[in-house]
Amino acid sequence: MRKFKHLLMVVVLCTSATIFAQTKLTGKVVDETSQPLPGASIVVKGSSTGVSTDFDGNFTLETSISSGTIVVSFVGYETKTLTFSGSKSLGEIALKLSAESLSEIVITATSFAVDRKTPVAVSTVKADVIEHKLGSQEFPEILKSTPGVYATKSGGGFGDSRINLRGFESANVAVMINGVPVNDMENGWVYWSNWAGLADVTSAMQVQRGLGASKVAVPSIGGTINILSKTTDIEKGGNVFVGVGNDGYQKYGATVSTGLLDNGFAVTASGAKTKGDGYVDGTEFEGYNYFINISKQLGDNHKLSFTSFGAPQTHGQRQNRSSIETYRNAESGIKFNPDWGIKNGAAFSIENNFYHKSQTSLNHYWTISDKSNLSTALYASWGTGGGSGTAGDDRSLFNVRLGGDDQPVDIDNIVDINRERGTQGLGSIAYLRASRNDHEWYGVLSTFKTDLTDNLAFVAGLDLRTYTGKHFSVVEDLLGGSYAEDNANVNNPNAALKVGDKRDYWNDGEVGWQGLFTQLEYNKDNLATFISASVSNSSFRRIDYFNYLDSDPNQKTDKYDFVGFGVKGGANYNLDDNNNVFANIGYFEKAGGFDAVFLGYDNEAENINEDAENQKIFSAELGYGYRNDNLSFNLNLYRTQWDDRTFTDNFSVDNVDYFVNLLGVNALHQGIELDAVYRASDKLTLTGMVSLGDWTWTNNIENVQVYNDSQEAVGDPYSLYIKDLKVGDAAQTTAALGLDYELMDKTHFTVDYNYFGDYYADFEPNNRTTATDTAQAWKAPEYGIFDASLRYGFKFGEFDTVLTARMNNVFNTEYISDAIDGGAHDSNTASVWYGYGRTFNFSAKINF
């Protein structure tokens, strides 16, 4: 009996050893240029066992099975499967770029450019670069080393940054998140404060300059910024992180994922909070961001994915520029902000922004057959919030400051005056209002693709949107008063308003969009070509609740429709394994914005431009690329002609207002771009770029006569003298150099230098009405800034941990980032914003 027990124990031990034996697989996941792919997923096929690569692309996976197949994937790359038998090192696993691998994300399967295939100029920034380079910068600033990009913090408030691409402002750059357009439906603008937390959940961000690879019916003059958020992580786990920085900056948050469950469900959720005092005076901020993705595999051919994210925030702003002399004389120097004050001994924002815009989508992916697939997104976006500012009959009280002109506004003085008026039964003479811009946006975006032959594919899609923008002003703070007088509402004249009551204006803008797009793609051997066409209809309607009685049929206008279209094509040819050339060409017509139709912001027939002319854009580009094991670079030449830019102006004759819609306001944007990556060794990587732009207004507009409804000449002929003036508000010459050195395992030191030159102050062409006023707008001084970071990866117990230290503008360079031209076109009359001086940020991230 005792021998039997011993024998049984040996059998159990041997069996346990077999059951719990672990197969250990190691390797490194890289792209075609041998650059590591951090965050790539490695999963044992048929199970939920998986890991992701570290910052250097390395992974270690342990599984209880002795042999099988692993699946290696990374967003934007083709999935690769490898078999294994026993523990082993798989070495370098190289993944190829492919748009088709993005079926996890709606529409981006047909909008993400592929290296050496899609014939467009493109730059892609991956999640790890965003994580270690962003720090406390604004999200668009991560692109400042990209050719053709000019990104600044603008006034310096949290989320107030802006971006220009090849000299075009964001209203003329298509921005998409997971393939869904996010440019404002009325005016085309992108407000980055709405997406202040997007960097935390971005897998990759791609800048497609020029015509771009997007097949949706969205015309982009300057280019397309395509942001891909995280989908549900395949592996179970998550992370927690915390960051601190200059001027009270604090950020902390977490991400958690269930991994792929046995029932086919997977959930990933992320959330964070950010707050701080702001680098610029009076720009305190507090923001949150959230992200959730729930996916479900339905058999072999269908998948549903639900995604929702947003970033509610509030922050003080610096809305108004100042003269250079004002900054030089100000006690706080370049941090000076005229738009804040002191109330009860505490900082008080006069210009304050508060907003929450969410985006929610339900995506369906259907593999119809081996040759055909359909991806569809139903999405909705709700926005609520606005920005505060001054109001009242005596707003000059907001110029009364606690000391000199460079000091904060004396808010207590205004409170005392309003309280005294209240004892006399009078309303506030100066108070704060909030200009609201709430909206509801619903859409459907669907793309069908089928392979007609082995080499020819057909793509077609539908893009439908409906948008209602709700514009109104409300009393935000009576500043000690009892009420505010307002006579703007014909339905409620001579009103005594309390906090929250509408004032001054209240109107809705209804915008509709119906778009169709189609494309043929031919790919064989070394040749990849495409030709595509799109057509869209934009409709506009205005409802005014203040200027028209509820019984007045003019309270709601008719709906006005404007048709736009576009055609484009291109080809890429791989000369050999190292060299490729490409070319693209396109023409499209784009309907003007809401303000091009309703010129006077009212519903009067004479102020409705129902025949608004389309903007006309022609673009062409040539490119060359080179790739080998250590060096890759791209050279692009582009030319974009923008004719009949939507341009309106208003003037008064004999107390009658007239509005003019000028045709022939044309601009030419052309240039050359070069970017390169050189892997000098296993430890040292160098990057660089040069972008030389030549952006000018091409012609004058002379002797345009305005006529009234009776075809009688009104006023003097109208002229603009803008020929050969440089397009302002973005640096036309930019350059960058970068260095990434691996000091030791998982420890990297990074330095980036960015140069900006030929920045001309922004100006309104309608200010150039004098034939003798032909001087160029003021050109701001050129400047260069250094940024540096150090990131250190190590094991904290069983957890992978990364510490990152980053400093921006290391040498505290003083520079002007934004300027508006003055009457003399010189530094004395320009109004400017300075860029940030030296800032720093420390962060820690623990992965579990």
Residues of the chain with CATH 2.60.40.10: 19-94
H or E element at residue 12: helix 2-19
Torsion, Cα of 185, 728, 225, 642 (10° steps): 70
Going by C-alpha positions, the residue among 148, 164, 153 that lies closest to residue 196 is 153
Q: What whole-number distance in Å separates Cα of residue 649 and Cα of residue 499?
A: 35
CB 268 within 8 A of CB 252: no
For residue 288, what are the CA distances in angstroms to 95, 202, 350, 385, 730? Answer: 35, 16, 22, 15, 30
pLDDT of residue 38: 67
Which residues are CB-neighbours of 265 under 8 A, at least 6 positions away? Answer: 258, 294, 295, 296
Provide the whole-model pTM.
0.87
Report phi then psi at 402, rounded to 5.
-80, 75
Determine the topology of domain 19-94 in CATH.
Immunoglobulin-like (2.60.40)
Count of CA atoms in the C-beta half-sphere (13 A) of 443: 27
Beta strands in 611-730 (DSSP E): 615-627, 631-643, 648-653, 656-661, 667-679, 684-697, 701-707, 713-720
426 φψ region: left (φ > 0), alpha (ψ -120 to 50), beta (else): beta
> Other CB atoms closer than 10 Å to residue 759's CB: what's the count?
28
Q: What whole-number distance in Å separates Cα of residue 122 and Cα of residue 114?
A: 9
Q: What whole-number distance in Å separates Cα of residue 588 and Cα of residue 585?
A: 11
Which residues are CB-neighbours of 436 under 8 A, at least 6 positions away? Answer: 384, 385, 386, 470, 471, 472, 473, 474
Q: Is 453 helix (H, G, I), strand (E, B) or coil?
A: coil
Average pLDDT along the chain, 848 residues, taken 10 residues at a time: 44 41 82 67 76 74 86 76 88 68 36 78 83 83 94 95 94 86 90 82 85 69 84 73 96 89 86 96 95 87 90 96 96 96 95 95 90 92 96 96 92 97 96 97 94 94 96 98 96 96 97 94 93 94 96 96 94 94 94 86 84 91 92 95 80 69 87 95 94 96 74 78 96 97 91 98 91 95 97 90 95 98 97 97 93
Count of CA atoms in the C-beta half-sphere (13 A) of 287: 35
For residue 89, what are the CA distances in angstroms to 55, 250, 420, 794? Answer: 18, 41, 81, 21
Q: What whole-number distance in Å separates Cα of residue 336 and Cα of residue 323?
A: 11
Q: What whole-number distance in Å separates Cα of residue 111 and Cα of residue 121?
A: 13
Going by C-alpha positions, the residue among 144, 325, 166 that lies closest to residue 783 is 144
For residue 358, what are the CA distances in angstroms to 349, 380, 829? Answer: 25, 8, 41
CB 449 within 8 A of CB 484: no
At 48, the amino acid letter reads S
- The DSSP string of 639-652 is EEEEES---EEEEE
CB 663 within 8 A of CB 613: yes
In the structure encoding, which two tokens stand for residue 422, read together? 């209240």
pLDDT of residue 200: 80
Strand partners, 374: 366, 448
Q: What whole-number distance in Å separates Cα of residue 837 and Cα of residue 815?
A: 8
Question: How big is the chain by its Cα radius of gyration, in Å?
Answer: 29
H helices of 162-300, in order, are none
pLDDT of residue 9: 45
Residues of the chain with CATH 2.40.170.20: 237-847
For residue 250, what are the CA distances in angstroms to 241, 275, 803, 840? Answer: 11, 5, 15, 12
In the structure encoding, which two tokens stand for residue 222, read together? 């300057």
Which residues are CB-neighbours of 813 under 8 A, at least 6 positions away? Answer: 783, 784, 785, 786, 837
Report phi then psi at 100, rounded to 5.
-65, -25
- The DSSP string of 574-619 is E-SSSEEEEEEEEEEEE---HHHHBTTSS--GGGB-TTPPPEEEEE
CB 287 within 8 A of CB 324: no
For residue 230, what are the CA distances in angstroms to 76, 104, 446, 520? Answer: 12, 10, 20, 29
> Other CB atoms closer than 10 Å to residue 475's CB: what's the count?
23
Count of CA atoms in the C-beta half-sphere (13 A) of 506: 17
For residue 521, what are the CA distances in angstroms to 119, 433, 453, 461, 532? Answer: 12, 53, 11, 14, 9
Token pair 């139903």: residue: 378
Question: CB burial class (10 A; 0-12, 13-18, 19+) of residue 54?
Answer: buried
Q: What whole-number distance in Å separates Cα of residue 5 and Cα of residue 80?
A: 49
In the structure encoding, which two tokens stand for residue 579, read together? 């060299």
The CATH architecture of the domain made up of 237-847 is: Beta Barrel (2.40)
DSSP 8-state code for residue 178: T
Q: Give the CA angle between residues 208, 213, 214 to the nearest 5°.
A: 105
Token pair 């460079």: residue: 406
Q: What whole-number distance in Å separates Cα of residue 35 and Cα of residue 141?
A: 23
For residue 624, what are the CA distances in angstroms to 76, 446, 523? Answer: 22, 33, 19
